[in-house]
Structure 1
Amino acid sequence: MLLKLLAFLWCSFVVTQAQYEVPDAKVEVFSPKGFSVSIPDHDGIRLFAFHGKINEELTGREAGTFSEDILKPKNGWWTFHAPYQKLQPGDKIYYWTYVEHLGRGYPKDDQMYEVTELIPKPTSSPTRPTVTTSPPVAPIVTSKPVGETGYSSCQSTPTKFNNGKGTCKGKLLYSHGFSSQVIEKYWTVAQQFAGSPDYEFVIYVNRPETIQIVNRKLKMKPVLSEDIYGSGFVTGDFNLGENCTGTTGSLDCVVRPDGGFILPPVLSSQISTKRKFSFKYGTIEIKAKLPKGDWIYPELYLNSANEDYGPGYGSGQIRIAFAPGNSDLNQMLQGGIILGDSVAAKSYGMKTVQKQTGWSNEYHTFKVTWKPESIILAVDGKTYGTIYPPSDGFVSLSSNLQIKDAHRWRSGTTLAPFDKEMYITLGVGVGGFNFEDRTDGSKPWRNGARSSMKDFYNAREQWSSTWNSDNALDIALVKVWAL
């Protein structure tokens, strides 16, 4: 009898799960501009995502021109709004939607809406439809929902995530805008002194002056330490105490000036998904506006989740996008891989693309497709570089590129160290080893010098005049797909 009851309950659960389908979206196009895409609220929905393009078909589940996660309903509807898009009869909206329902994800692919009329823009949201709670009488849907095992026709993929979990080809693994809840659940805000391997002139802190969420976008910006903590701060002691996210008692958390060494003259912010989300092989896409200002740069990285091959660059780093904020350097966008600390190891795997007006003037979409055999870099839908390992693997480059401890990579694939799970890092750095030394004196410090931070601080009248409201890194969206 007990076995029959358990079987009945299991079958009831499977039927209940199988019955859910993403509702058809309600599309409304307004005069003189704007459109919305909505689905009615039902018990169990936790997220509604919209991805679309105007008059251009989507390639699979790409992010699209419009890409947003809606985290809560309003007046009984989950609604995506595009208030400034102007449309006219005959235009077509190509889109796909995605719903998280009872802990599982359900996509609705290959949708299209053709504009036939424009309606007056409403003054309030539509009224919630009446939803019956009685059992449905429609035939049972046989397709399976998206879960860790994927669709009913789940195709295999080399992608793994969160310590080796399997998934399905094309599965959306991470897709969230920014809110305090999202930050708390998926990200850790760094509170520590910067150090190896880049030795930025920064203390990463969690303060409203350096990190904010505005209209679901993440804004991070550097500020002068003494503007927050007062004149003379750089020559005193500073202990982050129990708030430190680094190793307690180490230079991550407490630093004392000594001789030519001072405290970092800059406060900034950095967040990461370390120990909360990581993946191996897949596509990551970040829509962001990069920061301006001398010696400021974006930190859009993938770092090793477990440092399997050693600390720092010993386990490699993938740079999703890098462009210094200096006016004479901002025309060059870089992306690629870092194999070690030497100049050669930093430059070997970097690809570049130039833009005459600079890369920090507007939003761009940066993408990395990380495969077992290659790493592909793109910006705004255009590929600008592909990195392949040598036939004997990156380890074969260790002598020429002066890479220490690269022998550890021999235990991996030819792509090692880029064959282990990595987590996402987002932040703003200033100074440090990310700028090569110059002979013309325009760079006010020398890499590796004990006085480098002090020299940078003493030259603040030269560079701080370029710091303004444009020195923020604005991030609108982060998405990760399985291959």
Structure 2
Amino acid sequence: MQDSLNVAAAAVSAEPTPRHSMTSTSSAPDSTPRYRFRSYRLAAGKMEKPWLEDKRIKKTRINNIIVLTLVFLGFAAAGVLVYFLSKPYVQGDYCLVYEDNFKTLDKSVWTHEVQLDGFGNGAFDWTTTDEKNSYVDAEGLHIVPTLTNQTTSITSDQLYANYTLDLTKDGSCTSKANSSCVVTSDPVKGKMIPPVRSARLSTKGRKSIRYGRVEVVAKMPKGDWLWPAIWMMPENDTYGVWPRSGEIDIAESRGNGRDYPEGGRNWYYGTLHWGPTHASDAYWKTSNANKIRRGTFADGFHTYGMQWTPDYIYFYIDSRVHQIEFIGFDKHKPLYDLGNFAKQTDENNTLLDNPWAKSTSTTGNAPFDQKFYLILNLAVGGTNGWFKDKVGDKPWIDDAQNAQWTFWNAAKSWLPTWGEPNERGMTVKSVKMWQAGACGSPEL
């Protein structure tokens, strides 16, 4: 009997213990009880969205609608404004009337203007026809300054005294004024032979436009006191002597370095000159400058442009999109009124007259309603204020009788900055002139 009980107990002890038995004392890691995961997903049906009833949210939505509406109206108004403001300046027909890539110098178009009096600016150069001062090569037209005592038979002593330079003898002078053609060096009077020679070329009497566009691709010169210019003058002094008949400066610069306080070869200027008298020239109302961010305008070629209509003139660099100055004309406020000349007097205390009173212009743009021709030149120094006194170690004083002398005596300071001819010169790669109007139209 006892054996039977032992066998039964052994049989019972041999049965496997249930895996999840609550009475199990096993220490196995999966013996801990686990609970079924409970889902917190919302039940199907209508869900509550209390934030939609929040008054602050509704107010924000209304504000957003108002802001977006105002933004839309702002863009619409800007579009309308741009349309009506730009409508008068829509590009019209233009006819290319002259193009020169300077493979050679076309003397049927270009004329050398030869003078030695500085052309009214007191410049220290004598403009010539010498090929050392203007020549064409693979780069284009070069206008280069040279020293008189190195490129002529005139000695350094003769520059100062006892020498007469008479350009009428060989007929080279292009001015009718004797003072522009003849000079005698005289230390007592402070007169000297121009110490520098350069060149000035123009299309006067050959190519001119009245309204249109001009583009000149050029590289500016490098060197202290060099004054390059791309500009236009009227074919006829319809309204009188300068500046009554106007002047259009497409690009002027200075060859001085970037540190020159008044703007060196890293700046260039576009300007209109106009006024009843020399002293009343109101150029400062119609002038602006452009500064290159890196390098200078002597480092490479740029396109210097001007567009001109009866309603406006603007200057640009490289692209018409990059304007540096826009001058709009107003028939209700012509240039005489813009300059406020009616309240000004001349040196005789006489009220300034209106030189454009008889103009037939209907846009108030006189004197810029006549034909203008193109000029390319490189001047040196001057006494008209382009280089201001006591700025940038300027070696001369404009009002001094011996301004040229002091400039020339300081050659050791400025001549080393000029470099080689292709650096000290202005190089012009191409010129284009368009006349407003379709090719073949009566005005052409």
TM-score between both structures, scaled by the size of structure 1: 0.61
* 1:26-65 map, 5 Å: none
Q: Could you say if the C-alpha distance between residues 188 and 243 of structure 1 is closer, same or farther in structure 2, counting changes exceeding 3 Å? A: same
Distance, in Å, in 2 between the alignment partners of 1:349 and 1:429 is 23
Q: Residue 435 of structure 2 aligns with which residue? A: 482
Q: Residue 170 of structure 2 aligns with which residue? A: 242
CA contact (8 A) 2:389 2:398 kept: no
Distance, in Å, in 1 between the alignment partners of 2:222 and 2:346 is 32
Q: Residue 324 of structure 1 aligns with which residue? A: 254
Task: Say if 2:180 is the partner of 1:252.
Answer: yes
Gaps of 5+ in 2: 1-91, 437-444
Q: Residue 293 of structure 1 aligns with which residue? A: 223
How far the C-alpha of 1:458 sits from its partner, in A, is: 1.7
Q: Could you say if the C-alpha distance between residues 344 and 372 of structure 1 is closer, same or farther in structure 2, counting changes exceeding 3 Å? A: same
CA contact (8 A) 1:220 1:268 kept: yes
Task: Specify which of 339, 355, 377 is matched with residue 408 of structure 1.
Answer: 355
1:45-82 per-position Cα deviation (integer Å, ceiling 9, x unaligned): xxxxxxxxxxxxxxxxxxxxxxxxxxxxxxxxxxxxxx
How far the C-alpha of 1:392 sits from its partner, in A, is: 2.2
Identity across aligned pairs (percent)?
26
CA contact (8 A) 1:281 1:372 kept: yes
Q: Residue 337 of structure 1 aligns with which residue? A: 272
Distance, in Å, in 2 between the alignment partners of 1:375 and 1:277 is 19
Distance, in Å, in 1 between the alignment partners of 2:221 and 2:391 is 25
Task: Say if 2:403 is the partner of 1:465.
Answer: no
Distance, in Å, in 1 between the alignment partners of 2:290 and 2:357 is 32
Distance, in Å, in 2 between the alignment partners of 1:366 and 1:322 is 10
Task: Specify which of 376, 379, 401 is matched with residue 314 of structure 2.
Answer: 376
Q: Residue 169 of structure 1 aligns with which residue? A: 93
Distance, in Å, in 1 between the alignment partners of 2:243 and 2:266 is 26
How far the C-alpha of 1:389 sits from its partner, in A, is: 3.6
SS at match of 1:455: helix
Distance, in Å, in 2 between the alignment partners of 1:465 and 1:455 is 17
Task: Say if 2:427 is the partner of 1:427.
Answer: no
SS at match of 1:213: strand
CA contact (8 A) 2:139 2:427 kept: no
Q: Residue 85 of structure 1 aligns with which residue? A: none
Larger radius of gyration: 2
Q: Residue 37 of structure 2 aligns with which residue? A: none
CA contact (8 A) 2:229 2:376 kept: yes
Task: Specify which of 381, 387, 391 is matched with residue 327 of structure 2.
Answer: 387
SS at match of 1:232: helix
Q: When you count helix as a share of all residues, which structure comes out higher? A: 2
Distance, in Å, in 2 between the alignment partners of 1:296 and 1:243 is 28
SS at match of 2:415: helix
Task: Count residues with an aligned counterpart.
Answer: 316
* 1:79-478 map, 5 Å: 169-180=93-104, 182-215=105-138, 217-229=140-152, 230-235=155-160, 236-240=163-167, 241-248=169-176, 250-258=178-186, 259-327=189-257, 328=260, 329-339=264-274, 341-342=278-279, 345-356=282-293, 357-381=295-319, 382-389=322-329, 391-396=332-337, 397=339, 399=341, 407-412=354-359, 413=361, 414-432=364-382, 433=384, 435-439=386-390, 442-469=393-420, 470-478=423-431
Paired letter, 1:387: I
Structure number with the bigger relative contact order (C-alpha 8 A, sep ≥ 6) is: 2
CA RMSD of aligned residues (A): 2.5
SS at match of 2:311: coil
CA contact (8 A) 2:94 2:434 kept: yes
Structure 1 stretch displaced more, 205-214 or 248-257 = 248-257
Distance, in Å, in 2 between the alignment partners of 1:369 and 1:440 is 33
SS at match of 2:268: strand
Paired letter, 1:322: E
1:329-363 per-position Cα deviation (integer Å, ceiling 9, x unaligned): 22221112122544963432111111132221110
Q: Could you say if the C-alpha distance between residues 350 and 220 of structure 1 is closer, same or farther in structure 2, counting changes exceeding 3 Å? A: same
Distance, in Å, in 1 between the alignment partners of 2:333 and 2:150 is 52
Paired letter, 1:437: K
TM-score between both structures, scaled by the size of structure 2: 0.66
Q: When you count strand as a share of all residues, which structure comes out higher? A: 1
Gaps of 5+ in 1: 1-167
Q: Could you say if the C-alpha distance between residues 403 and 310 of structure 1 is closer, same or farther in structure 2, counting changes exceeding 3 Å? A: farther
